[in-house]
Structure 1
């Protein structure tokens, strides 16, 4: 019987669903592990008023892996206009996820049920079964709580950690999350915000431990651009260094690095106001971190912004699976 390689992708934000949509039609068993520490936009409002796990990242992942017709996915993604004061800014999918979470009593069961309804190709696991709060300590010793507050501070981050709703009790991932990581052939981190999309997942103790113990190859898709308030002036080696330092050992086996230059006059920094400048390269620093480096043209320019080329990244991930299995 043919064994489909198991790929686990851990993250959040806008990069995660892009890669997932590219993997959906490949012959792989996909599991998406999604952050629940978001507190901005529609997700943040619902989190504050309804006391639910923020649904935005989960919504985008559901759509990326859904085999529903386009019209149904478009409806799920539809966001009410600002003139609709009562529902202004809310995506229909966020409201559905919040409602089902209330009906089922927890986000994990709600997402599994919604996965069946939306004909999901693969598995989607919220990284925790409760809303998490991201905490940060900055280089100057100050501390802040909340993802949006941390990013808005524009202060150099020293470390991050997550807390749950129960005092003096560390948050834990469901056993399905840990099992998926331990049984994977490949773990993919990113692309996404280093401190606010990727690390919040890894800072859950049993998730971080599983990533350290798994026999799977751990691949990090390094960001193309630095992010204001998070990774200003970071090299690719700095990104890997931060991940390894937070986990207490060198866990990144392979890093995908874009070496195609981003045209200076192409980026609209007013529209894409979260980004700062292209990530610079430090190949000696990457070698010091003990990881294999795959450097190639992974760049896709669109809408005056710099993004990963989905198909090139996905093809490289599939190539790595074949290379590892043939070793």
Structure 2
């Protein structure tokens, strides 16, 4: 019997998880994807056509696609010239067109998934046209995912909490996937702009607290300026538990691999730093099981390696990690 795996997130983090798992036919995969993105091509298409933001949906489709590398490159190709199409990716334009043709955003996703032989389901977390906002510790409110992601305000001021404008009811198909999952993978990804927006949807927390699935949180390798400056593993877990409630995270995946000093220095120049585990016992006392492995990619970026993540998720699915 196949194991049902559902990911929750958005951006590059979710892409890495899905691209590692996509070739495993022993898994039933579902990707629940944030629709709070408001920058770049995604934001322009969202404003002009009134559709949900296609960017993170596009990445998930690419990650789960069976097509050739050339087709993937076409799907991700971003036009550099042309007054009306400069900055847009082929995938974003295709999803927008299919949504217009079918008259339904989810139907457009299904048609595009069929075109690219996607292994699994790609599900927007909500069908409402939401905007993400945060309140800083000084009381200032920032509205718009892109302004949180790349702060125009003082990024050293911590975020107090996050909120959604415009509704945000959990997509029934997302609830169904959660209810029928064996494991739910949250992260990796930007805490407040890729993960928390999913948890803010009305009905999400209830679904996660009543499912029989084990919840696995993949903690980030690096902090991010404006969102998680100076965070430890415990800080990431603390914020997630603020929305989920304590006692719901079963496992936390923590990178134990060494980071290249030259890359660390490069990231530190951008206000980022390695995420460290300061108090292992504090998490264990919460009933959380830690899985500490080398998850890093052997590239010029300090991020998770898709195959290393996939092997660990496969260890859960096969019963090697209990």
Same fold per superposition (TM over 0.5): yes
| Post-superposition CA distance 1:33-87 (Å, at most 9, x none) | 1110000111111112222211111111111111123322221111011x43332
* Counterpart Cα distance in 2 of 1:7 and 1:222: 18
The whole-number CA distance in structure 2 between the counterparts of 1:103 and 1:126 is 19
CA contact (8 A) 2:7 2:30 kept: yes
Where do 1:61-210 residues align within 5 Å?
Answer: 61-81=60-80, 83-151=81-149, 152=151, 153=153, 154=155, 155-164=157-166, 170-210=167-207
**Aligned-pair RMSD on alpha carbons?**
1.9
Give ranges in structure 1 of 5+ residues lacking alignment: 165-169
Q: 1:256 aligns with which of 244, 247, 253?
A: 253
Q: TM-score, normalised by structure 1?
A: 0.91
Give the SS at the match of 2:302: strand
1:207–1:97: structure 2 CA closer, same or farther, 3 Å change rule?
Answer: same
Using the alignment, how far apart are the partners of 1:288 and 1:14 within structure 2? 31
Match of 2:263 among 243, 266, 270: 266
2:242 to 242, 245, 249: 245
State the shift of 1:206 in Å.
1.2
Alignment of 1:17-96 (within 5 A): 17-26=15-24, 27-81=26-80, 83-96=81-94
| CA deviation after TM superposition for structure 1 residue 248, in Å | 2.8
Contact 1:127 1:177 in 2 (8 A): yes
Following TM superposition, by how much is the alpha carbon of 1:277 offset from its aligned partner in structure 2, in angstroms?
0.6
The 2-side partners of 1:15 and 1:33 are apart by 13
**Secondary structure of the residue that 2:231 maps to in structure 1?**
coil
Q: Deviations over 1:170-228 (max 9, x none)?
A: 32122111011011000000111111101101111212211111111100000000011
Contact in 2 for aligned 1:65/1:121 (Cα 8 Å)? yes
CA change 1:39–1:207 in 2 (3 A) is: same
**Contact 1:269-1:275 within 8 A present in 2 as well:** no
User: 1:163 deviation in Å?
Assistant: 2.3
How many residues were matched structurally? 316
Determine whether 1:279 maps to 2:275: yes
Offset at residue 274 of structure 1 (A) = 6.2
